[in-house]
Structure 1
Amino acid sequence: MEPELRCPISTDLDAIRRLVRDHAGRGGLSGERLDNFVLAVNEAVTNVLDHGGGTGTVLARTDSGGVTVEIADEAGRLSAAHLAAAEHGRAHSAGFGFGLWLIQHLCDRVELDQSPLGSRLRLHMSVRTAADRPPGTLVPQGCDPAEAALPPADPGLQGPAGFPGTLG
């Protein structure tokens, strides 16, 4: 059985980021891909705290191909329509949904399951060799770089507290 990490969602985002970073690092992610994955998980957990029910679980698993983190939200408010709007930039242009847009552009794969027990957002990042990683890019494998380009920097947009660096 592969290693697994399970922790409750809490407002201690720094602790969650550290746990995910350690787990994903042991799973083979490193450098910019590791940073991007931790940022994506942070955004997903923040969405549960800000827009979901505020309670849920972070579950991380590794296998030979990469790392998968499931963010379970007991309120189940996140829908496929939210993901679709964010993926195509419609939500961001309306002033919300940037976190979902960012998640989808940082991760190799993003999936959503809904049930009467809530919603589960599954983020996956494949382990790649250095030769597979384009230098200085945030574009996941298989994405069109023109579609995945980050919006212009906003000097007022700061990264999450405790996360190395800022957005913008």
Structure 2
Amino acid sequence: MAMEPELRCPISTDLDGIRRLVREHAGRGGLSGEPLDNFVLAVNEAVTNVLDHGGGTGTVVGLDEPGGVTVEVADDAGLLSAAHLAAAEHGRAHTAGFGFGLWLIQHLCDQVELDQSPQGSRLRLHMDVRAAHPPQPALLVPDEQPPAPFVPRAADLAGTVLPPAEPA
């Protein structure tokens, strides 16, 4: 269940400012490193699409959800359709010279959903928050002995040419 919006701003040509707000919101939600960078890029693409193709007006809303971060990019004109998303997802749109941003959004985010109504289109971008630290290798239990060092056997050295011995 979504919480109250933590971020709400109108779409404008101040893309740096919007990226900063999205980065802060997503960082507070638990994203960091490459997933954070990817999410900010995806939202930037969605906002740019509203400016370039979606009538130029809309809203960015950031939601903090359990297990992830969500940003909704709404355009007031409602020009983005499910057909646009489907074409971009399957690579058909960007080969015709458009739709690369939608393709990128769908490949950077864990979930992308679109709601279209008479009030406009709302693209919902979601990124799961994964564990910050990858699993570490098992540590030796104190009473265990470390593995014996590798000592090559004659069979391991078969075919190896050794340098000549130096005179004594």
TM-score by length of 1: 0.76
1:125 aligns to what SS in structure 2? strand
- Residues 77/3 of structure 1: CA separation in 2 closer, same or farther (3 Å cut): closer
1:123 is aligned to 125
2:104 is aligned to 102
Does the 8 Å contact 2:10/2:57 carry over to 1? yes
Q: Is residue 69 from structure 1 mapped to residue 68 from structure 2 by the alignment? A: no
Q: Give the drift of 1:59.
A: 0.2
Cα-to-partner distance string for 1:4-45 (whole Å, 9 max, x where unaligned): 110000000000000000010000000000000000000000
Separation in 1, partners of 2:125, 2:21: 16
1:18 aligns to what SS in structure 2? helix
Q: Give the drift of 1:95.
A: 1.1
Separation in 1, partners of 2:53, 2:130: 33
Does the 8 Å contact 2:22/2:62 carry over to 1? yes
Pick one of 28, 31, 36 that aligns with 2:30: 28
Does the 8 Å contact 2:11/2:58 carry over to 1? yes
Residue identity over aligned pairs, in percent, reads 85
Separation in 2, partners of 1:34, 1:96: 25
2:63 aligns to what SS in structure 1? strand
2:31 aligns to what SS in structure 1? coil
Equivalent residues, number: 132
Q: Give the drift of 1:57.
A: 0.3
Q: Give the drift of 1:2.
A: 5.5
Separation in 2, partners of 1:3, 1:120: 15
**1:19-98 correspondence to structure 2 within 5 Å:** 19-98=21-100
Does the 8 Å contact 2:5/2:61 carry over to 1? no
Separation in 2, partners of 1:36, 1:100: 13
List runs of 5+ in structure 2 lacking aligned partners: 136-168
The runs of 4+ residues in structure 1 deviating greater than 2 Å are: none
List runs of 5+ in structure 1 lacking aligned partners: 133-168
1:25 aligns to what SS in structure 2? helix
